[in-house]
Structure 1
């Protein structure tokens, strides 16, 4: 069931979009596809454009967004590597809506199969049926192993210099890039980047291992969290390794020893 705020927005926006010249379809992705929308969810809309009119519509994105509801503010998505994206916040009700503007032929290159809300004839469904979604590949365990111990050394140098805020930030990077995806994979999910929704996906013991890597900007806390991150990674590496996996034992040993020396003040 679609929550009231999202449904209210769609009830107003879809008729407007269907009347917009140059727009040939509207689809929705994200949490909608998992039937997991709740009152805190945003809407991930894909606006499919006639390629001949795509340049004009890309220029007019803020105007089109403003026609869909009480737009408070919007900005483009270069910071997430997607300049076609317009990130919007609407009022009455307060709702985050992502509008991704995609020319019809470009819909063939996608990471998920969105659900069609409206289309001209069968233009959108035709492209979806003739192509396949290709989710971005998750980093392999070997890719992570090749980097993890250099990352540990980096964190140790910042600890030694007293840049504790950088250590705290770096631990978040490890959870997002390494620990979260590997824990998800260990428990049967797709090893996607990040830690979103892990509270709903992982058992209590797995969450506890992540919680132990959360540090405050205090030296003892940072040392403990780094040690816990290493222990969690080693456990996951043992569980998920394949026969062709190569552990980088020499750099691991040196990086861990260096961290211990810095932590002890040696």
Structure 2
């Protein structure tokens, strides 16, 4: 195919991806009560699933330290077009999250024909694993990071005379950043796999910098969670687990490459 033909092919992939996002964005816009009442404002309610689980854990250990019975803050809109603009923005973000597997599949359909046979074999199941990790990250961000962060920020005050009344733009922006950020963060094993294939990362290198990774993970846990050890552990363990899983993936890639090199040398002899 010529360069122009490639651009034409890419254009149709983009059109189909944007059309899918548009359809689900419209659906999210119409389902305003569910999207905002249940999904968006869910982590701000004391009856949210995460808060219920924390209360159950508190009952098991006979302590009320983890039980969150109220989230003391109000959400308001200080701009005349604030709610309408946020309604549209939230609908588009919802459509993007829901259609992410299809959007990635469209881009993969455009990239895959340009790969060599061995590259296609090495990237088999890419759409499935990228989608799985993204879904895990979104769920982790929504059910762990978001409610704990909302609770911490709602209860944090510099003085008793200051009340927390957050603008809807700030609340939704924080929530979407945590959720989408987690979805992207959970792509670490895929990134490590690709970098290991091209030789930029080795399992030995990742082991050397493991201590540095632990420090970074703990700092992130301290920033994103309330200032208590259990919450930081709940955040840090999945992130550290991803790093350890990435080391195993890099080790697998390195072993497979060494095996292929040995087979190539035997064939040459």
TM-score bracket for this pair, using the shorter chain length: under 0.3
Higher helix share: 2
Higher relative CO (Cα under 8 Å, sequence separation at least 6) belongs to: 2
TM-score (norm 1): 0.25
Query: Which is richer in strand?
Result: 1
